[in-house]
């Protein structure tokens, strides 16, 4: 039986490359567990007078290459094991896209749709108060993740600045533009995923984006921006899903129209699964869609030992963190399905977070053209570095990406003399 514990899966991925890299056991020991795990109780009075204590986490995996960096997730499934896994993946991601950050992740275990705007603000401020001493522009820089956004980061920055007695925009990224956020940050993760998809389509499928069909699981910030960029490149979207369900678009065909039309229909009908003319499908059916590319853009453990042999796509591009289990990786590989791993495919988000941090430090503001050009350049380079490494050493792209990412972190630890 395979494990559904994301941290076990993250450890199995790390173990899969330590021989290839010949990591010194002392450094392997350091990398296996996060440097710091913070667990906080967050008592809040709700508007109806009831009192609830929420559980929050911030896990700092490694800072050999720079300050800890990573998002904050609000979701009922948030657990210490999940946050630990996500923090390790952030270390590899920052390293692979080659920005001077380490890896961290945070989260609060709850369903944000059950809280009012005011309650969300109070909970966010309480969380900042609880972790204040462990974060900071040179220490640990949070950002949005599942169910958090620019508004959450605005409260975060305000609370941290209030505690410090002066404005500290560099403490978080993914802020609203008006508060020092970067142009292009919100769309960056999805945009980066699609740049990787385009490069993989060209290099591996020998096609152009206008000739491929795509199924996308998830329509949150990342999924919806993937769909937008895919449509802008002329790819044909055949199936989509969100938390309410999936839909095969236009009965076996593809969605005809542009992204704004699709987003408008989804908003008007309350879900992408309720778009007129779309055939409702289950999450399983979405993953098993007859499309050239499958983009999981939701949560962990979606492609597993149980369904990997039913995947019909030729290429999987991981927009989510940890959507494929190690067992499923092996099955996909045996079936000849190429996979662009999460730490490469979705690194556009943290990359533009880094651009935001740099702009804030320099009190500068770049145009959208500058941000997108730099995103394109960095993503393309990282993709081809991984592909070349995988071809040269006969490794799947996940292991090739890990070899490059972990290798740089180990070098940084060695040069700094961590042992």
Residues that bind ligand GLU (CB under 6 A): 69-71, 93, 143, 145, 173, 321, 346, 349-350, 353
Task: Give least dist CB 342 to ligand GLU, A.
Answer: 8
Q: Residue 150 CB, nearest distance to ligand GLU (Å)?
A: 12
Catalytic residue chosen out of the listed positions 69, 84, 105, 378? 105
* Cα distance between the two ends of the chain: 37
Is 268 catalytic? The answer is: no
Q: Give least dist CB 27 to ligand GLU, A.
A: 24
Q: Which is nearer to ligand GLU, 301 or 321 (CB)?
A: 321
Residues 6+ apart with CB under 8 A from 204: 315, 338
Please say which residue, 109 or 273, places its beta carbon nearer to ligand GLU.
Answer: 109
**SS3 assignment, position 247:** strand
Rounded distance, CA 43 to CA 331, Å?
45
Residue least distant from ligand GLU (Cβ): 71
The two tokens of residue 182 are 């970067």
Three-class SS of residue 204? helix
User: With respect to ligand GLU, which residue has the nearer C-beta, 143 or 338?
Assistant: 143
Other CB atoms within 10 A of residue 202 CB = 12
CA atoms of 105 and 83, how far apart (whole Å): 6
Element (H, E) at 394: none
Nearer to ligand GLU, 27 or 92 (CB): 92
Picking from 85, 56, 89, 90, the residue whose alpha carbon sits closest to that of residue 73 is: 56
Answer yes or no: are the C-beta atoms of 198 and 211 closer than 8 Å: no
Residues 277 and 258: their CA atoms lie apart, in Å, by 16
CA distance 196 to 351: 14
Q: List residues bridging with 293 in a β-sheet.
A: 214, 315
Tell me if 239 sits within 8 A of 247, measured CB to CB.
yes
Catalytic residues: 105
């Amino acid at each position: 039986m395979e494990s559904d514990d994301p941290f076990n899966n993250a450890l199995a991925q790390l173990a899969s490359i330590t021989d290839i890299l010949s990591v010194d056991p002392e450094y392997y020991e350091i990398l296996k567990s996060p440097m710091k795990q913070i667990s906080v109780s967050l008592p809040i009075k709700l508007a109806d007078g009831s009192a609830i204590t929420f559980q929050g986490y911030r896990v700092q995996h490694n800072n050999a290459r720079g300050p800890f960096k990573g998002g904050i997730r609000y979701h009922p499934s948030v657990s210490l094991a999940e946050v630990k896994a996500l923090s390790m993946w952030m270390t590899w991601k920052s390293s692979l896209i080659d920005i001077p950050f380490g890896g961290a992740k945070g989260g609060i275990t709850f369903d944000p749709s059950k809280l009012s705007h005011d309650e969300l603000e109070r909970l966010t401020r309480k969380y900042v108060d609880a972790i204040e001493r462990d974060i900071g522009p040179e220490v640990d820089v949070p950002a949005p993740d599942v169910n958090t956004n620019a508004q959450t980061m605005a409260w975060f920055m305000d609370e941290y600045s209030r505690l410090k007695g002066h404005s500290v925009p560099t403490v978080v990224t993914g802020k609203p533009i008006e508060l020092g956020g970067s142009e292009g940050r919100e769309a960056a993760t999805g945009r980066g995923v699609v740049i990787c998809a385009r490069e993989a389509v060209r290099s591996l499928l020998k096609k152009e984006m206008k000739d491929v069909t795509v199924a996308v699981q998830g329509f949150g910030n990342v999924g919806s921006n993937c769909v937008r960029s895919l449509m802008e490149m002329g790819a044909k979207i055949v199936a989509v899903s969100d938390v309410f369900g999936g839909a095969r678009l236009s009965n076996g065909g593809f969605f005809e129209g542009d992204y704004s039309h699709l987003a408008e229909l989804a908003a008007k009908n309350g879900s992408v699964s309720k778009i007129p003319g779309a055939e409702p499908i289950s999450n399983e059916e979405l993953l098993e869609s007859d499309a050239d590319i499958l983009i999981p853009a939701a949560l962990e453990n979606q492609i597993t030992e149980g369904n990997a042999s039913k995947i019909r796509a030729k290429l999987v591009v991981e927009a989510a963190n940890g959507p494929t289990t190690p067992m499923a990786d092996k099955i996909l590989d045996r079936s000849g399905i190429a996979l662009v791993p999460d730490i490469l495919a979705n690194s556009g988000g943290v990359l533009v977070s880094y651009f935001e941090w740099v702009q804030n430090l320099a009190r500068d503001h770049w145009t959208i053209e500058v941000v997108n050009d730099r995103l394109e350049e960095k993503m393309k380079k990282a993709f081809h570095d991984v592909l070349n490494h995988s071809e040269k050493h006969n490794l799947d792209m996940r292991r090739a990406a890990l070899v490059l990412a972990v290798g740089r972190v180990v070098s940084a630890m060695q040069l700094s003399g961590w042992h």
